[in-house]
Amino acid sequence: MMAKAVHLWELRPTANGGTVVIVQESLEGPLVARFVSSSQLTNTDLAWLKALKTRAESHP
């Protein structure tokens, strides 16, 4: 299966010392929609963000 995927994660500092994470993704290919649903991508992103938050908060 030929597919192209681009995943960008941008971390921006906030005024209160926190961080906002902006996620952008692009997938293309003839069979991508058959094998990868938007809900799968959302769930994967949420799991990644949760792990990032946990790790960041455990290391001040």
Residue scoring higher pLDDT (50 or 30): 50
pTM assigned to the model? 0.71
pLDDT in tens, 30-49: 888 788 888 888 899 999 99
Q: Average pLDDT of the chain?
A: 89
Task: Give residue 1's pLDDT.
Answer: 59
Distance, CA of 31 to CA of 24 (rounded, Å): 20
Q: Is the sign of the CA dihedral 43, 38, 35, 27 positive or negative?
A: negative
Per-residue tokens: 10: 């941008």
Q: Is the sign of the CA dihedral 24, 26, 32, 38 positive or negative?
A: positive
